[in-house]
Structure 1
Amino acid sequence: MDKGDGSIKYILTGEGAGTTFTIDDSTGDIHAIQRLDREVKAQYILRAQARNRLTNRPLEPESEFIVKIQDINDNEPRFPDGPYHASVPEMSKVGTSVIQLTATDADDPTYGNSARVVYSILEGQPYFSVDAKSGMIRVSLADMDRETRENYTVVIMAKDMGGQLGGLSGTTTVNITLSDVNDNPPIFDQRLYQMSVPESAPVGSVVGRIWAKDRDIGVNAEMKYCIIDGDGRDIFDISTDPTNLFGIIVVKKPLNFEKKPSYTLKVEGANTHLDPAFRQRGPFKDVTIVHVSVEDVDEPPLFDLSAYYVELPEDAEIGTLVKTLSARDPDAANNTVRYSIERSSDPEKYFYIEITSGSLMTLRSLDREEIGWHNITVLAMEMNNPTQITSVSVAVKVMDVNDNPPLLTDFLEAYVCEKAKAGQVRKKICNKCGKNTLKCCKRTDSAVFVYLVLGCKYKLMLRNKLSTLFHLPIFISDGEQPVQTSTSTMTIRVCSCDQEGNAMLCHPEAYSLPASLSRGALIAILACILVLLVMILLMLSLRNHRKKPYLCDEEENVHENIVRYDDEGGGEEDTEAFDIAAMWNPREAHHHLGKMRQDMLPEIESLSRYVPQASVMGGGGDSNVHGYVLAKLLEADMDPCAPPYDSLQTYAYEGEGSVAESLSSLQSGTSNTDHEYDYLNEWGPRFKKLAEMYGVLETNNPPLW
């Protein structure tokens, strides 16, 4: 229909129209406007139609057609999972498969040879090879040894077009490791090991380590060690460390240098795992010799026993030999041993041990009733090395001796009814008769027995109806030698009883305590009364003492006033301790006498009959002062509570017409020089003269100063 005049227009629609493909609307030629890739899109579905150019009316229905992209060899083979890792046991045979590789080619395998791949090895020969078609890598060299070389790198190439010239290719790397097999026996790195251990090493101590080296690894190198021979196989033991590679030699039994200074061990090391491929070779093992030297150590003394037990009677005399302990120095030097007792184990020092012989003796009297067991610790020490000390326990059991009299623990008291018949049993003193331990006795020795004068069951015979209180003596004796005895008294009261024999009322002289008031309560009441009496006596005694205190009352005005002045007098401020008006100006003595303290006048009057009224140098005006001084002096001599000190007072007034002249050296009228401060030498004669003047001191008596 197309005449070529351009009246027909061609239209293209569908996949890739306008982008990948275009059409010439005049001629209908279709062109590709970009590069086509079959591996991206192998075909396109397009639709074409012819239309009138002027009217745009279709001249025919749309036609659909498919455009297929023809493949060309534009893609090389690829290994999607490379690089690869593989392993193969060492010593594998030739042809043993290692790993299979597969290369992919994006080209069309149905069109030509673009996707037909061939494999070849570029690197890794002569150890490995690859199958050209399948890509399987195999061992190509026999007896490859891991211990010689463990890792190999193999490079494989895949080429399309069947490997022909012009084909595309791709490569990959395969890392091949030879896995270990137990193909090597263990070998000790030394044929003879030298070790040493101190004799003091405890059981379980490590002596040394040995190693049977194995070129294999992993489980193929794990070892098991054992002592197969030697004189030390019973003294030492060997085990494998946690890595299962080394052998650890340890002490199995205590060592003693003096008994055996060295040992020899024959040790075997063998693999624990045997590879099935090498069973014909037998177990892989090796043997070595271990020489162990025992080093001498200064050991502490050793007692002949681990503990001592001794029985000793409690009446053993002081100095009795208890036990002779023996300890020796286990070393070859055999140093001298000294003994002592650890004081904390015998604080009361009941025992003594002889320092050189080890004889344990008593130092104090023993008493089983106080201490039945003595657990003491004895120390043994080397004289040349005090740091080497050993202790041992000595248990001393104190055996009982009959040295205590039997005692009744309960207060013996009973009652009997007024109308009790003769021969009626009222109270059992003992639970049992004969040589048996009794509960009614205080047990102090091993066995205590009680015998009553009239038997175990004491029968009361009421023969005297007038008596309402009976005191029965009881004789107590034990049954061991030497026999120990004691006595006790049983009190029996006569009471009025009911029909059942229960006491209702006892006679006054035999009145028993009510049931609600125990004997302990009565004792407590009596004790309280006694305490009250003592307190009353103490209060009365204290009251009497207050009347005569050791220090006189304030009314007696005795004070210790030590006053220091820079002049001869300080006035009334220096004499506030008590009223000294009587010792002021004698011309006013009578005037002040009437104003003296009321508590002074009775004392002077009461003492006037004891004090002689002697005149002093004709000075009748000083008689009151004279009497007062003598009265106070006599009172102080006779008063047991007078203080042991004197009262020293100084006054401004010296006294009129005093034959002693001035007592002051501070302002002497005859001296214009500096003051003399030797008061003792200056005042001494003046005091003496004053005392003689008042008749206080006779001239032939020793001076008071």
Structure 2
Amino acid sequence: MNRCLFLPLLLGTTVLWPRITATGDCETGDMPPEGPRGREKRYWAWNTFFVEEELNVTRQPFGWLRSDLHNGSKSLKYSISGDGAGSIFFVNATTGVLYVTQKLDREKQACYFLKAQVIDITTGKPVEPESEFVVRVMDINDNAPTFLHEPYKAAVPEMAPEGTFVFQVTASDADDPSSNNNARLVYSVISGQPYFSIEPTTGVIRTSSKMDRELVDAYWVIVQAKDRIGLPGALSGTTRVLVTLSDVNDNKPTFKKSLYSMNVSESTPAGASIGIITAHDKDIGVNAEMDYSIADDASQTFGIVTDNETQEGIVILKKKVDFEHQNYYRFRAQVRNRHVDKRLLGHHTPASTTLVRVQVADEDEPPAFLQPRYTFQVPEGSPRGAPVGSVSALDPDHRRAPVRYSITSGSAFQIYDNGTIVTAGPLDRETSAWCNLSITAREIGNAEQASEVPVYVQVLNVNDHAPEFPEYYETYVCEKASSGQVVQTISAVDRDDSIEDQHFYFNLSMEDSKNSTFTITDNQDNTAVILTNRTGFSLQEEPVFYITILIADNGTPSLTSTNTLTIRVCDCDDSGSPQICSAKEMLLMESRTDIVIAVLTCAVIILGFIFTLLVLRQRRKQPLFAEKGKDFKERIIRYADEGEGQEDAQALATGEPRGSPVRRARRPRKAPPAGLRGPSWQVGPDDAVIKEFILEKLAEANTDPFAPPFDSLRTYAFEGTGSSAGSLSSLESAASGEGEHFDCLQDLEPPFTRSACVFGSATQSET
């Protein structure tokens, strides 16, 4: 029988607890609610009951319920309720003995909370309040330690000092740590010595010696966790930790070979690859990255470039080699780590070296000029065949093949077999100051071997151009200009190129210097001013002046040019701006004035004619003129034109047309003399009648296809009607030549361009 059954009896406990507090795991269990507070009379007497886990029993007593109210009467019985009551735990209703009928597992449930009560069988009602008690499951060491979050991986730098932290492992045990140390664990390393150690209570793994990654790059460490601190019946669990050594740059690269041999042709262009060298580094990653270089003077001819993917050194040619100059090269190449841990390798980066041997192969090369370019000078105007300069090219090969020269571009020059360049004709610097040539040198035995060189020929200046006006000057002088007035500022240009600054000298010619109309003043700054040397000019008398100016330069030899400056005389306004600058413009202005006067005069005459006509019509109603066929005759005495002999004279005398019906073209009119300008008509009462008569005759003449072929103005002296003095002439007198009257028109306005004296006859008077 369990010792818990008689524990309350041995203690002689008569006090009942409203609640029994459990320890350990029971502290976290579901506790029943507390009873009413205050002091109450209790009738139960017991303590906590214990049951060992994992007991293989069918009905095992483990305790005894006892109440002072139960006096052994068969009408009273014990009853339990709560965790496991009726399934795991049972009570003898008469004696109060408690039984357990199943195997218990503390790791699943450590405490059971039940309630006990005495019930009256007859009434079925409790005779007292229920009371609580606890059944605690006692722990046994039935669980081994287990590790969490397996598998474990860790990394530590190689060559790490002793005691370097690597990793911490943690195991757990489901048993009660307060019961016989069933859950107190101790760690130890089963496999991994002597490189690793572990702290027994914390599970921290540390290094116990230095390790080289290049020898072993990873280790498996087996760790054990054991409970009960080594007591009998202890259980244990193990786990594995993979410890990887991270690389440290503790190795320098080394070459695989001590000598590398390579070949290169002298025709190989610069920048080409000629071979590969290889170094090896035991480190990995960035610690294995390396840089190659040349350790001696050969770095001017060769170079080494690192291939970052393969970590190989590519030997390149930095400049072309010449077999005739050097056919063999030998130099040392070196390699270093790109990233160095100075704490491990010191302040100086260690380097490995190897020997590289390069053999140069001979090639047939084209001729080589002694200079990369040539520059020569030749004076302009040099005759054909004048020497310019000489070029020279040699075959660099051992056989020294002869060379022939030719000019690829530049037709103004020729070249001889010895490389001498001469002119093919005169050169003009003003046309081209520089000539660019291309000279080709070819081997006579092998025309494919050729090379070119640029040649620059500067054409030197010779003073062969005289200075001249830079532009055409529009120069004028006002009629009212005073003496000493500036007319024009002139300058000069010279197409020649002077070594020194160009300077020009200005003077008037010998003839113009004697003329006192204008003078010239040299400003000594390559400009000069033209000044008037008198007061007043006349547009009609002297409309234009031509001044000859001599301009000399400071070249060697000095050249002088003759330049003509045209100065026009203009009629200017008050501000000095030109208005009229030629005689034609002046004549046109005067003609326009005469036309205006003539138009005004005609207007006055027409108004007078209209007024007179109105007066005469009211006085009498009779025709102004007789019939054209009755006693009327006209006759032109003289006209200013060349005739055609007797035929023209007869036609003019009789008024009859010439035999030819074809009308001849009229000759162009000339300007009338200045003395013939001005109106000549007299104003009178019959002027309107005469004007109408003349216009009618002009209309007939214009429509007559047989009119004489000359330009003339037919005018008629008509006395008019109603004259009190009677007729001044008659048809008879006209026939006898007596009483002839001449009206000479001397001032004709344009478009009439000829003067004429007209004989006028009057009609017979009717008075």
TM-score normalized with structure 2 length: 0.54
Q: 1:159 to 1:387 in 2, by over 3 A?
A: farther
1:334-391 CA-to-partner distances (Å, cap 9, x unmatched) read 4444444445xx5xx333445x444334345433333333333334455566665544
Equivalent residues in 2 for 1:313-352, closer than 5 Å:
313-343=379-409, 346=410, 349-352=411-414
Question: 2:430 matched to 1:369?
Answer: yes
Question: 2:474 matched to 1:474?
Answer: no
Question: 2:224 matched to 1:157?
Answer: yes
- Residue 590 of structure 1 is matched in structure 2 by none
Q: Distance in 2 between matches of 1:390 and 1:6?
A: 140
Letter in 1 for 2:462: V
Q: Distance in 1 between matches of 2:294 and 2:269?
A: 20
- Residue 636 of structure 1 is matched in structure 2 by none
Q: 340, 351, 355: which one pairs with 1:289?
A: 355
Q: Does the 8 Å CA contact 1:473/1:487 hold for their aligned counterparts?
A: no
- Residue 148 of structure 1 is matched in structure 2 by 215
Equivalent residues in 2 for 1:593-608, closer than 5 Å:
none
Q: 1:320 to 1:12 in 2, by over 3 A?
A: farther
SS at match of 1:108: coil
Deviation of the 1:138 alpha carbon: 5.8
Letter in 2 for 1:80: L
Deviation of the 1:264 alpha carbon: 1.9
Structure 2, gaps ≥5 residues long = 1-68, 514-519, 522-529, 590-767
Letter in 2 for 1:376: L
Letter in 1 for 2:435: H
- Residue 189 of structure 1 is matched in structure 2 by 256
Q: Distance in 2 between matches of 1:133 and 1:507?
A: 130
Q: 1:133 to 1:363 in 2, by over 3 A?
A: same
SS at match of 2:352: strand
- Residue 149 of structure 2 is matched in structure 1 by 81
Letter in 2 for 1:177: T
1:202-232 CA-to-partner distances (Å, cap 9, x unmatched) read 6555554434433344566555655444x52
Q: Does the 8 Å CA contact 1:404/1:445 hold for their aligned counterparts?
A: no
Tell which deviates more after alignment, 32-41 or 2-11.
2-11
Deviation of the 1:427 alpha carbon: 3.6
Q: 1:379 to 1:131 in 2, by over 3 A?
A: same
Q: Distance in 1 between matches of 2:140 and 2:537?
A: 158
Deviation of the 1:69 alpha carbon: 1.4
SS at match of 1:64: strand
SS at match of 1:177: strand
Question: 2:244 matched to 1:177?
Answer: yes
Q: Does the 8 Å CA contact 1:406/1:449 hold for their aligned counterparts?
A: no
Equivalent residues in 2 for 1:44-443, closer than 5 Å:
44-88=112-156, 90=158, 98-124=166-192, 128=196, 135=203, 137=205, 144-164=211-231, 166-180=233-247, 184=251, 186-200=253-267, 205-217=272-284, 221=288, 223=290, 227-229=294-296, 232-238=298-304, 242=308, 246-247=312-313, 249-252=315-318, 254-270=320-336, 273=340, 276=343, 284-343=350-409, 346=410, 349-354=411-416, 356-382=417-443, 389-411=450-472, 427-428=487-488, 431=490, 438-439=491-492, 443=495
How many residues were matched structurally? 497
Q: 1:4 to 1:401 in 2, by over 3 A?
A: same
Letter in 2 for 1:330: P
Structure 1, gaps ≥5 residues long = 432-437, 515-705
Q: Distance in 2 between matches of 1:366 and 1:232?
A: 50
Q: Distance in 2 between matches of 1:445 and 1:213?
A: 70
Tell which deviates more after alignment, 127-136 or 261-270.
127-136
Deviation of the 1:61 alpha carbon: 0.8
Q: Does the 8 Å CA contact 2:543/2:581 hold for their aligned counterparts?
A: no
SS at match of 1:232: helix
SS at match of 2:229: helix
Deviation of the 1:62 alpha carbon: 0.8
Q: 1:333 to 1:401 in 2, by over 3 A?
A: same
Q: Does the 8 Å CA contact 1:375/1:396 hold for their aligned counterparts?
A: yes
Q: Does the 8 Å CA contact 1:199/1:254 hold for their aligned counterparts?
A: yes
Equivalent residues in 2 for 1:455-474, closer than 5 Å:
456-457=520-521, 467-469=541-543, 471-472=545-546, 474=548
Q: Distance in 1 between matches of 2:200 and 2:322?
A: 76
Q: Distance in 2 between matches of 1:317 and 1:252?
A: 48
Letter in 2 for 1:259: H
1:474-513 CA-to-partner distances (Å, cap 9, x unmatched) read 2645445666665554445555567777666567269599
Q: Does the 8 Å CA contact 1:406/1:476 hold for their aligned counterparts?
A: no
Equivalent residues in 2 for 1:523-562, closer than 5 Å:
none
Q: Distance in 2 between matches of 1:413 and 1:65?
A: 139
SS at match of 1:111: coil
SS at match of 1:264: strand
Deviation of the 1:98 alpha carbon: 4.8
Q: 1:43 to 1:268 in 2, by over 3 A?
A: same
Q: 1:64 to 1:414 in 2, by over 3 A?
A: closer
TM-score normalized with structure 1 length: 0.58
Deviation of the 1:37 alpha carbon: 2.8
Q: Distance in 1 between matches of 2:336 and 2:203?
A: 42
SS at match of 1:288: strand
Q: 1:417 to 1:250 in 2, by over 3 A?
A: closer
Deviation of the 1:304 alpha carbon: 2.5
Q: Does the 8 Å CA contact 1:121/1:154 hold for their aligned counterparts?
A: yes
Letter in 1 for 2:371: L
1:147-169 CA-to-partner distances (Å, cap 9, x unmatched) read 33222223233233334554322
Deviation of the 1:241 alpha carbon: 5.4
Q: 1:81 to 1:407 in 2, by over 3 A?
A: same
- Residue 627 of structure 1 is matched in structure 2 by none
Identity percentage over the alignment? 42
Q: Distance in 2 between matches of 1:234 and 1:135?
A: 62
Q: 1:501 to 1:279 in 2, by over 3 A?
A: closer
Letter in 1 for 2:354: T
Deviation of the 1:192 alpha carbon: 1.4
1:644-663 CA-to-partner distances (Å, cap 9, x unmatched) read xxxxxxxxxxxxxxxxxxxx
Deviation of the 1:189 alpha carbon: 1.4
After superposition, the CA RMSD in angstroms is 4.5
Q: Distance in 1 between matches of 2:570 and 2:200?
A: 137
Deviation of the 1:464 alpha carbon: 11
Q: 1:123 to 1:475 in 2, by over 3 A?
A: closer
1:412-470 CA-to-partner distances (Å, cap 9, x unmatched) read 6655566777x756645x64xxxxxx33x675675676542145456667999894245
Q: Does the 8 Å CA contact 2:430/2:495 hold for their aligned counterparts?
A: no
SS at match of 1:162: helix
Q: 1:507 to 1:322 in 2, by over 3 A?
A: closer
Q: 550, 569, 583: which one pairs with 1:508?
A: 583
